[in-house]
Structure 1
Amino acid sequence: MEQIIAQANNLYIATLGWLEANLLTVDSAIQLGIITMLFLFSFAVSARLSPFFHKAFEQRAFYQKTEKFWKALYLPLIWWLAVFTAWQVAASLGNPIILLRMATSLISVWVVISLVTLMIESEAISKLIRVVIWALALLNIFGLLQSFIGFLGATTFTIGGNALSLLGIITGVTSMIVLIWAALFVSKFVETKLKEAPNVTPSARVLLSKISRIVLVVLAFIFAISSMGIDLTALAVFGGAIGVGLGFGLQKVVSNFISGVILLLDKSIKPGDVIEISGTYGRINKLAARYTSVISRDGREHLVPNEDIITQPVVNWTFSDKKVRRHLPVSVSYNCDIEKAMEVMLNAATDSSRVIKNPEPKVLIKGFGDNGIDLELRMWIRDSENGVSNIASEVYLDIWHKFNDAGIEFPYPQRDIHIVSAKGLKEKEDIL
C-alpha cells in the first residue's frame, strides 16, 4: 500500500511540474488565443458548409446514408486542419508550438471518437469509449501515460493463486468489451448476408445467425479472460458450479432457449408462417432465443414462449402447403330452387380474387334442417396471412346480394300449431 501511495504522489508532483513549465507562460496564452479564434472560424465555416453539401448531394443515395456521419465531422475536421496549419507555420518560424501540438492531438482524438461512436448503437458503450480515449489522450499529451501504465502494472492482487494487476484487469475488460462488440457486429453482418441468400430457408437463416452469434461471443469471452492471465481450467470448475446454480434458477429461460433451437432444427415453424395457438392467430414475425413473435390481424404482437409452442397444440396454416380450405355454411328456404342456389353460391366464390380456381370451389348439401336446407360452400385460398375471416365475410356478402337478385330466400324459424280439439274454446266463448 505504501508503494502505491508513493507512486501516486510521484505522479501528482510530475503533473504539477509539467503544467508549470509548459502552460503557465505568455507564449502558451498566445497559442491558446490562436486556438480559440481558429475554433470560432471553423464553427462559422462548418455552419455554412453543412447546408451547402446537403443541397448539392441530397439526391445521391450515398450521401443520404452517410449524412449523419459527415455532419458530425465537419467541425472537428476543419478545426484540425486550421490548427495543424498554424502549428506548421509557427514551427517553421521558430515560435513555441507546444499548445498547438497538443490541440492538434486532442482534435485528432475528437475525430477518432466521432468515427468510432457513430458505428456504435449503445449510448452507454459510446460514453465509456469517449471517457477512456480522452483520458488516455490527455495522459499521453502531458507525458504521463507511461508513468500511469507503470502504476497500474505495479498494483497487483492475488486471486486463487493467480496474480492479477490493475493493468491486466483493465486490459482484459477492455478487450472483452471490444471483442464482444466486434462479435455482435460480425454476427449482424452474417445475419444480413443470410437474409440476402435466396437458397437458405428462413429457419436455417435464424439458426445459423444464432449459432454464429453464440460462437463468436464465447470465443471473445475466452480470449479476453486469457489476456487477463486467468487459468481457464480453474474458470471451468468455477463456471460449472455457477452453471448448476443458474440451471435451477433459470430453468424456464433455458427451457425456452432449447425449445427455440428445437423449433429451428425440426422446421415446424418459420418466419412468415401463419399459426394459431391458444386462441392467438397471426403471422410469425421473428424467432428469438426465448420467444416467438406472432403478429395478429389487429396489429398486436404476441410474444409466445418457445416452450409453449413445443408443449401445446399448434395449428400451422402454411406448414406443408399454403393452400387453406374454408367452410361456409348457408341455409336456404325449402321453397327455393336448390340447384339455382348452389350455382349462385359457386359464382360468389369464383368472383372473389382471393379464391383459387384449383382446387375449384364446391357446394354440398349437408342436410335438411327444421327450417331450411343446409348447404356448405367449400373454397380454397392461398394467402391465409391476409386473414381467413375477412374472405368469408366478403363471400357471404356477395351471396346475400346474389340471393336477393335471384329471389332465393333465407329460412327463418317456423312452427305449425295444430289444434286437436276446439271444445274448450267453444265453452269459453259461451261463457263470455
Structure 2
Amino acid sequence: MQEISLPQWQELARAAEQWLRGSVLTLNTLGQAGAVLLCTVLGLLLGRLAQRAFERRFEQQLVSTDYLGKLMRAVNRVLWLSVAGVLLSVAGVAFRTFATGARLLDVATTLALAWIAIRLASGLILRRFWGKVASISVWILVALEVVGLLQPMQEFMDGLSMNFGDVSVSLLQALKAVLLFVLLYQIASAMSRFSEERLNRNTHLTPSARVLFGKGVKFSLFTLAFVLSLSSAGVNLTSLAVLSGAIGVGIGFGLQKIFANLVSGVILLFEKSVKPGDVIEAGGVQGTVLSLNARFTSVLTRDGKEYLIPNENLITNEVVIWTHRDSNVRLKVPAGISYNADPRLAMRLMEAAALQTPRVLPSPPPLARLIGFGDSSVDLEVRIWISDPEEGVVNVKSDVLLNIWDAFKEHGIEIPFPQRDLHLRTPFPHEGSKEQEAAEPDPGSDPDSETNG
C-alpha cells in the first residue's frame, strides 16, 4: 500500500480549505444555516401555541378511540413540524430571490416534509408493517434527493421497460403503481372505516341504510384506488374494460352462487327486510343478526355460535323475523291443572305470576286461556308479551313457569301428571277344553269300585 506523502497531505488540506471557504464558510451558507435554526425555533414556539389551540378546539376528538381521534392525534403531533416546514419554504423562496441559491434550506425543507410524512404514516396507516415500509421508502427517497441521485435513478428505472401488447410499462411506472396502490389502499381503508363510524352514529338512518351506504363507499373507494394505480402505470383502461368483460363472461358460470349471494345481499339492504339487530329464524337457526355482508349474513345464537347464512337463502327460503316491524313478541306458556281445581282461579293466578316476571310487559297484559280438556288435566295457557327477544325466550318462559308453580302451591292447586289404572282379570277355562275334560270324572264309572282282572 502506497503511503501518502507530506506534500500530498498538504494538497488535500488546501483543497478541503478551499471547499470550506467556497461552499460552506460563505455568507450565503451561514445565512441559510441561521435561517434553518431560526425557522426550527419559531416552529417549536408557534407549533406549541398551535397545538394548544388545536387541543382546545378538538378536545373530545383527541380522546376518542375511533379513527377520527387517531387522525386528530397524528395531526397534532406534526403541527410544529408543519409550521417549521412552511417557514423553511418561505425562507428558501427569499434566499433564491435575493441571493445566489438556497441549497441548505431546500435540504432542510425536504427533511421536514419527510419527517411529517413518516409521522403521519406511522400514526395513520392501519398496519404496522405498511407503516414501516412507508417510513423506509420516504427515507430512501430523501437520501437519494439529498445526494443528488434521485433523478439519475428515475431515468435508469424508466429505461427498463417491458411490452404487453401495445402497452409498454417501465420499471419506474410499475414501482409507482405499486407504491400508489399501497398508499391509496391505506387511504381508502381509513376513509371507509371513518365513514362507517360516522354512519353508525347517524340515528336518522336505518341499520340497513347504514350498511348499504358503508358498503357502497368502501367499494367505490377501493375501485378508485385500483383504477388510479393502473392509470399511473400507463395501462389503457378501455382495453382493461374489454378484457374484464371477457373474463367476466368466462368465470360468471363458475361463480353463479357467489354472484347470487351478492345480488341477494343488495336486495336485502334495499328492501330492509333483514337488518342488524333483528332476531330471525332461518334454516333451523335462531339468533340475532350481527352484520349483513356482501356474500353472507352473520347470525349469533344464544349458544354463542355464529352462523354465516348465505344471502340467497334469506331471499329464496322462508324466514321468520321476530323484530321486523316491532320488537314486541308474544309467547305462549302452557300449564295444566287437576279436574278438581278451579280453572278461573288458576287463570287469574297465572296472569298474576306472569306479571311478576321482570321481562314480561304489563301492556298488553298477560292473558290466560283454557285451551282444552286433556286425558289427565285441564289444559291452560298464559300469553305474554316481551320486547327483548334477543335476550332469549326460554329463560323468560322458565321464570313464568316457576312463578306459576309457586302460586299453584300456595293456593293448593294440583298440577296433575299422567296416571294409568291397571285391571287384572283371572281367565276362566273354555267349555270342552282338555283341562276341563281331565278334571271332570267319567259318569259311567264308579270311583269306589275296583277293576277286575
The structure with the larger Rg is: 2
Partner of 2:250: 245
The one-letter amino acid of 1:225's match is L
Please, which runs of 5 or more residues in structure 2 have no aligned partner? 1-15, 25-55, 89-102, 430-453
Kindly report which structure 2 residues correspond to 1:408-419, keeping only aligned pairs within 5 A, or say none: 408-418=413-423
Does the 8 Å CA contact 1:191/1:209 hold for their aligned counterparts?
Answer: yes
DSSP 3-state at the match of 2:414: coil
**Identity between Structure 1 and Structure 2 (%):** 42
Deviation at 1:421, TM superposition (A): 6.2
Deviation at 1:416, TM superposition (A): 2.8
Aligned equivalent of 2:364, options 359, 366, 376: 359
1:232 pairs with 2:228: no
Partner of 2:147: 142
Deviation at 1:222, TM superposition (A): 2.2
Partner of 1:339: 344
1:155 pairs with 2:160: yes
The one-letter amino acid of 2:282's match is I
Whole-angstrom CA distance in 2 between matches of 1:144 and 1:357: 80
The one-letter amino acid of 2:376's match is N
CA deviation map 1:327-370 (0-9, x unaligned) = 11111111212211111111111222222233322212121111
1:264 pairs with 2:274: no
Does the 8 Å CA contact 2:121/2:135 hold for their aligned counterparts?
Answer: no
DSSP 3-state at the match of 1:322: coil
1:369 pairs with 2:374: yes
Whole-angstrom CA distance in 2 between matches of 1:295 and 1:360: 30
Cα 1:366/1:353, change in 2 over 3 Å: same
DSSP 3-state at the match of 1:275: strand
Cα 1:321/1:101, change in 2 over 3 Å: closer
Partner of 1:90: none
Q: How many pairs align?
A: 370
Whole-angstrom CA distance in 1 between matches of 2:313 and 2:106: 64
Partner of 1:394: 399
Partner of 2:314: 309
Does the 8 Å CA contact 1:330/1:374 hold for their aligned counterparts?
Answer: yes
Cα 1:331/1:312, change in 2 over 3 Å: same
Cα 1:117/1:249, change in 2 over 3 Å: farther
Kindly report which structure 2 residues correspond to 1:32-43, keeping only aligned pairs within 5 A, or say none: none
Whole-angstrom CA distance in 2 between matches of 1:101 and 1:209: 43
Does the 8 Å CA contact 2:282/2:318 hold for their aligned counterparts?
Answer: yes
Aligned equivalent of 1:198, options 203, 216, 222: 203
The one-letter amino acid of 1:396's match is L
1:325 pairs with 2:342: no
Does the 8 Å CA contact 2:278/2:323 hold for their aligned counterparts?
Answer: yes
Deviation at 1:236, TM superposition (A): 1.3
Whole-angstrom CA distance in 2 between matches of 1:159 and 1:416: 93
Kindly report which structure 2 residues correspond to 1:106-185, keeping only aligned pairs within 5 A, or say none: 109-185=114-190
Does the 8 Å CA contact 1:73/1:111 hold for their aligned counterparts?
Answer: no
CA deviation map 1:109-128 (0-9, x unaligned) = 34531321210112342233
Whole-angstrom CA distance in 2 between matches of 1:73 and 1:188: 22
Aligned equivalent of 1:288, options 276, 293, 297: 293
Cα 1:233/1:421, change in 2 over 3 Å: same
**What is the TM-score with the length of structure 1 in the denominator?**
0.73
Does the 8 Å CA contact 2:126/2:190 hold for their aligned counterparts?
Answer: no
DSSP 3-state at the match of 1:204: helix
Please, which runs of 5 or more residues in structure 1 have no aligned partner? 1-20, 29-56, 85-97, 425-432
Whole-angstrom CA distance in 2 between matches of 1:110 and 1:290: 42
**What is the TM-score with the length of structure 2 in the denominator?**
0.70
Whole-angstrom CA distance in 2 between matches of 1:63 and 1:230: 42
Whole-angstrom CA distance in 1 between matches of 2:109 and 2:198: 40
The one-letter amino acid of 2:119's match is S
